[in-house]
Amino acid sequence: MRIHVGTDHAGLEFAQTLIKHLSDQGHEVTDHGPKTYEPLDDYPSFCIAAARAVVRDQSEGLESLGVVFGGSGNGEQIAANKVEGVRAALAWNDATAQLARQHNDANVVAIGARQHTEDEAIALIDLFIKTPFSFEERHERRIAQLAEYERTGAIAGHPVD
């Protein structure tokens, strides 16, 4: 599987550990930055680049997911979710990592690099990657509604006032 990684200065050190871990598992990993430590860098461009690459790969039929992280993971999740076609989920325990994939078919996971040990963060990411989408009708329906809203600003048959 192709995995796209994006972070900021808060996750730079962890990024190198994660990239090696994922590569050792046989994944093709693309690092969207940053490449050097800059304490005042901004995460949006790195996370958006990773998210755009996931959408591009998936639109081409490639199996691809993204991992974005920073101090809390919150801003990184928000940035990734600005990309049309991305469903980024903040994972902070096993259940949230697993349910993001099973119920939401999330294609990007956000992690708070300062909220977990490296081993904990890697375990959450591994769980996210290996968990398949359930393909249950109710979950497919909800994801379709989100995609419809993303495209049109409305959900047919449902008020969004």
Positions marked active-site: 76, 103
Pairing of strands 88-90, 108-112: parallel
- Tell me if 43 sits within 8 A of 6, measured CB to CB: yes
Paired tokens of 120: 């904990």
What's the rounded Cα separation, in Å, for the pair 48 and 6? 8
Helix (H, G, I), strand (E, B) or coil at 42: coil
Pick from 103, 7, 16, 96: nearest CA to 46: 7
Helix (H) or strand (E) holding 21: helix 12-24
